[in-house]
Amino acid sequence: MTDGPPTALADGSATELLPSVMHGRPGAVLLVRTGDGTVLVANPVAEQLAPGQQLPCDLEEWSRAAGLQAEDGSQLDRPDLGQPSSPLSRVAAGQPIQGERVSAQRETDLSGAREPLWVVGLPLADAEAEGLSDLALVVMLPLREHQAVAEAQESAAQLRSRAVVASDLSFTISDPSRPDNPLVWVNPAFERTTGYGKEVLGRNCRFLQGEETDRAAVARIRAALAAGENVTELLLNYRKDGTAFWNEVVISPVRDTDGRVTHHVGVQYDVTARIHAERERDEALAEARSARGRLEFLSRVTDGLSTLLDPDEALHVLPSLVVPDFALWAFASVLDASGRVQHVSATHADEARAADAARLEELLGTGLLPDSFSSRVLRGELGPTLVPLVGRAEMARGAADGEFTRLLHVLGLGSVLVVPLRARGVITGCLTMFSGPDRPPFDDDDLRTAVDLGLRAGLALENARLYAQQRNTSEVLQRSLLTPPRHSEGLAVATRYYPAAEAAQVGGDWYDAFVQPDGCTTVVIGDVMGHDVSAAAAMGQLRTLVRGIAYDRNAEPADVVRRLDTVLDGLGMTTLATAIVLQVSEAVDGVRRARWCVAGHLPAVLVHPAGEVTQLSGTGIVVGLGPDQRRNQHETDLLPGSIVLLYTDGLVERRDRSMGERLAELHDTVADLADRPLDELCDELIRRMLPDGSDDDVALVLVRVLDA
C-alpha cells in the first residue's frame, strides 16, 4: 500500500463501487491497544472469526487464530523479508490502514470460507474521550461482489482508490455506558458526509434524523442495540445544512472479556445515488410491466372479440372482457341505423351482483338521461371521458332518479371511463366502465388504454355486423334458390340445407324435387365445387338448367344429365359438379319404379319396408367435362314404406374417419330412425351424424313411399 494522504478519484469510481462492494452485513470490529498490539475487545462477528480466542491477546496471535491471509495468500503475521509489514502489525504500531484486502479461514455469519475482507485501521489518537487515545479501531468489512472488488483493485494500482475508499468510510464510536449512548469519536469522513464534526461528541446521533426518517427503522436499531446485536438499516438522514441523504447504517457492539458491551462502532454509507438509481430502475420496470400488462389486456380483449361473428353476442361479451381485470363493472351500448340506443349489456365482477346488473341493463334505455356522459359520448359531443369521481352533480345530470340511481350506487361508482366505439370513422356505440369505490380510481394511463380498447372493440363489432349482414344476404340468396319441394301424390318429400359452419352461409350444394307433366316425381341432389357466393350462383344456374331439361320433355335421368353436359359445353360454362337425378314413377299395382343416373356423386341410400338398408348403385363422371360422356341409368322397384335418401358429402366426410366407416354409420342411423316422421328424421339424422357441426355444406332429400 502506498503511503501518503488520500487522493480523490476524478471519476469517483471507487466511491461508486463502495455500496455494492461492502454493504449489507456488519463487519468484524476490534479495539487494539497501540504500542504493544494487544486486542482488548471484539464484537460478535470478530469472535466468530477467531472462536475460543481469549482476550486480551496479541493482535498477531488473534490473526493466526482467525487464519487471516494477505491478498497473495501469505500469513499476515509472517511478512517476507524486505516487504512491508502486515496491516495488523502497522495498526499495532499506531499507523492508519486505509484499506487492504485479506481473507479469513473460517466461515462466519458475514462470509463463507476464504471470502475476502476489507481491512481498515483507524488509530484514535485524536479521540477526546477518556481511555480511547491509545487505542486503534480495526474494522474488517465483508466484500460481497467479487467483480466489483476486482475492478476496485485494478484501479487501485494507479489511482490509490483504497485510500479513497477508506477515507469515504464514515466511522463513529458511541459509549453505551454513558447516558443516552453518546458519540465519543467520529472520523473526518463523518464530517464530510454529514457536515457535523467534533461538536457532536457527547450527543446521541439522533441529530441526523428528520421529518421523513423512518421511525420503524429507528425503533429496530434501538431494539438491536439494547439486545447487544448487530444491526443494519437504511435511513433517510439529514446533513447539517438540512439536505437529505440515504444512509446505510451498520452498527456493531464491541464486548470486553466479560461479555459486556463497551462501545458501539457504526459504519455509515451515503447510498443516495444508489437509491435514486434503484428507484429510477424500479419506476422504469414498473412502467414497462404496466405497458406490457396493458398490451396483454388489449390482446385478450381483441382475441375474445375476433372469434365472435354475431354482433349481438360480441356486444354482450364485450363488458365481460374488461371485468374484473380493468373495471369493477361495465356496460356497452350501440346505435342503430336511426341513431337510437339499443342492444345494451352490463356485467359486474361480483356474481352476487349479477341480478342487479341485469336489472340495470333493462333500465338503461330510460335510466340514462340525455345529458349523461355515456349519452353525450354516443352523440359525439364528448370524446373519451375520464371522470375521477362520480358525485351527486354527475348523478343528477346523467341518471334518472329512483330505481336506476339506486342500482348505480349498489353496483358501485368510484371513477368512470366512457370511450366511443368507432368503425370507419363513425361512432357506433360506447363502452362505460366503473372503477368502484374500493379500487384505485382510473388515471390517464387507463384512459389511453380504454381509448385503444374502444378502437379495437369498435372494429371488431363492425366486422361482426358486416359478417352478419353478408350472412343474412347470403341466406336470402340461398333460400331463394332452394325452393320447397312440390307435393307429390302418394309420396312424402323432405329437404334440408345446412351451410358450412365457417363459410359465408352459402355454397354449391343444392337439392330439388318437382313433379313432371307425366306425373313422375324428379328428385335431384348436387354439389358445385366451392363454398361462397360464386359457387351458389353456379349452383343456381345448374339447378335451373336441370329443372328446365327434365320438365320440358319428361326426360329420364340419364337423358337429363347428357343434355346438361351438352348445354354447359355449348354455353361455355366451366362449372364442375357432382349430381344424382332420380325419378319416381306413379304407382302401378301398388309399386313405384325408380330410375336414376349418377354423375360422380355419393350413392343414394334405400331403406326397404322391412328395415334393410342398401345403396342405389351407379357411378359416372362429374358434370361439366363436355358432351358425349357415357351416362348409365339404373332402375329398381319401390314398395310402400320404402325411403330413399340423397345427400351431399358434407354429411359423411370427416378428416379423422374413413369414408367406409362413415357410410356404415349413416346406414345404421337411417335404419334406426326409419319409423320417425320424415321432417323429424331429417333433423335427427343431421344431429346424430354431425354433433359438432360440419366444415362443409350439407344438403339432403328424403323420399318416403306412402301409398299401398
Q: Order of strands, edge to edge, in the sheet holding 521-528?
A: 509-515, 521-528, 577-584, 592-599, 634-638
Give how far Cα 337 sits from Cα of 341, 347, 363, Å. Answer: 10, 25, 21
**pLDDT band, residue 15 (cuts 50/70/90):** very low
Q: Whose CA is closest to 561, among 581, 576, 547, 537?
A: 581
List the one residue out of 21, 53, 44 whose CA is nearest residue 109.
Answer: 44
Q: For the residues 544-564, what does the mean pLDDT come to?
A: 88
What is the C-alpha to C-alpha distance for residues 690 and 676, in angstroms, rounded to an integer?
18
Percentage of the chain beyond pLDDT 70 is: 81
Spatial contact of 486 and 494, defined as CB atoms under 8 Å apart:
no
Element housing 295 (H / E): helix 272-306
Give CA–CA dist 305/347, Å, rounded: 16
Average of per-residue pLDDT across 94-108: 75
For residue 479, the model assigns a pLDDT of 64
* Omega before 324 within 30 of 0, i.e. cis: yes
The reply to whether omega before 627 is within 30° of 0 (cis) is no
Greatest Cα pair distance in the chain:
140
> pLDDT by residue (tens digit) across 217-239?
999 999 999 998 888 888 999 99
> What does the pLDDT average to over 435-445?
88
pLDDT the model gives residue 493? 94
Counted residue by residue, the chain has a size of 708
Task: Characterize the bridge pairing of strands 521-528 and 592-599.
Answer: unpaired
Going by their DSSP bridges, the two strands 97-103 and 69-70 should be labelled as antiparallel
Q: For 665-694, what is the mean pLDDT?
A: 92
Kindly tell me the burial class for residue 345, based on how many C-beta atoms sit within 10 Å of its own C-beta (0-12, 13-18, 19 or more).
buried
Query: Confidence band (pLDDT; 50, 70, 90) for 475?
Result: low
Measure CA of the first residue to CA of the last residue in the chain; give whole Å.
Answer: 123
The predicted structure's pLDDT at residue 241: 93
| Cα 558 from chain centroid (whole Å) | 63
| pLDDT score recorded for residue 150 | 55
Beta-strand runs (E) in 566-638: 577-584, 592-599, 604-607, 613-616, 634-638
Q: For residue 477, which of 505, 446, 435, 509 has the smallest C-alpha distance? A: 505
The residue assigned the cell 361439366 is 624
If one compares 453 and 504, the residue with the highest pLDDT of the two is 453
Q: Look at 314 and 3; give whichever has higher pLDDT.
A: 314
Confidence at 14, pLDDT banded by 50, 70, 90: very low
Cell 355449348 identifies what position?
A: 570
DSSP secondary structure of 544-580: HHHHHHHHHTT--HHHHHHHHHHHHHHTT----EEEE
- The region of weakest confidence among 183-187, 272-276, 673-677 is 272-276
Number of Cβ within 10 Å of residue 277's Cβ equals 12
Q: What is the pLDDT of residues 274-292, one digit of tens each?
A: 777 767 766 666 665 656 6
What mean pLDDT do residues 530-555 have? Answer: 80
Q: What pLDDT, on the 0 to 100 scale, is given for residue 647?
A: 95
pLDDT interval class at 1 (50, 70, 90): very low
SS3 239: coil
SS3 498: strand
C-alpha cell at 226: 439494547
At residue 110's C-alpha, the angle toward residues 106 and 113, to 5°, is 30
Q: Which of 86-90, 127-131, 617-621 is the most confident on average?
A: 617-621
Which residue bears the cell 442495540?
225
Read off φ and ψ for residue 74, nearest 5 degrees.
-80, 155
d(C-alpha 435, C-alpha 413), whole Å:
7
Q: How do the residues of the chain divide into helix, strand and coil, expressed in percent and rounded to 5? A: 40, 25, 35
Express as a percent the part of the chain with pLDDT over 90. 26
**Main-chain dihedrals φ then ψ at residue 604, nearest 5 degrees:** -70, 160
Note if the pTM is more than 0.75: no
In the predicted model, what is the mean pLDDT of the chain? 81
Write out the H or E segment, with its range, that includes residue 349: none
105: pLDDT strictly greater than 90: no
Q: Is the pLDDT of residue 540 over 90?
A: no
- Provide the 10 A C-beta neighbour count for residue 487: 11
441 contacts 286 by C-beta, under 8 angstroms: no
User: What are the angstrom distances between the C-alpha of 410 and each of 307, 371, 405, 596, 616?
Assistant: 33, 22, 9, 70, 68
